[in-house]
Chains A and B, each alone.
Chain A
């Protein structure tokens, strides 16, 4: 099955800093999503981005499908950005496979 690797596993930032999270996957996919899991366990969809670039406020994401990786950029971090960021991928009509996540802590 498809393997998903995320890096770094942990990230500690001061408020206002920028960061880049990476997701590598082992096979062709037609579905790639980034999620943020808050401290209460709620998974929030950030981007559906099987290819290309999208931006939503301070967050943006880029997927280079031909090279099998995706990047999530967080600019001007805030303490509310803390939590775990997951990348998940799927082949056509197949199940979503999650990476192990990047745990982000933002300190004031």
Chain B
């Protein structure tokens, strides 16, 4: 089975722009979770989608949003980018919040 894929792998944006990241889960997995990893805050949960519904949400501002499509692929969007949004964004898939399998991540740099 193919693993979790994330695109793009690297991204450079400027403050005020918006960005969309994509995640394709392992075939058959219906749960997709997103995490932000920074040196200062560590790994923080953003949100989790299951069967196109947001089931859990972390403590992030409304600039961070996501969605899941009927084929379980997920996107997350960050609007009005700030310097502090520079991070590694990781996506994980699972059957139902059990063993989570992570993608390689998207490294976002905001200038």
Contact = CB atoms under 8 A, between A and B. Distances in A.
Is the pairing of A and B real?
yes
Interface of A: 31, 33, 35, 40-45, 48, 86, 88, 90, 93-98, 100-101
Contact of A93 (B90, B92, B97, B100): B97
B56 interface: yes
A100 B42 contact: yes
Given A94-B56, A96-B33, A45 B45 contact: no
Interface residues of B, number: 23
Given A95-B33, A95-B45, A101-B42, A41 B104 contact: yes
B-side binding surface: helix, strand, loop or mixed?
A: strand
A93 B55 contact: yes
Interface string B73-107: 00000000000000010101000011111101101
B28 to A, nearest CB: 16
A90 B97 CA distance: 9
Contact of B88 (A35, A41, A93, A95): A41
Nearest to A93: B97
B45 A42 contact: no
A45 B104 contact: no
A86 B43 contact: yes
B58 interface: yes
A96 B104 contact: no
B33 A43 contact: no
Contacts of A43: 90, 92, 102
A96 B44 CA distance: 9
Given A94-B56, A95-B56, A96-B33, A45 B43 contact: no
A96 B42 contact: no
A86 B43 CA distance: 9
Interface centre among B43, B44, B92 (most CB of A within 10 A): B43
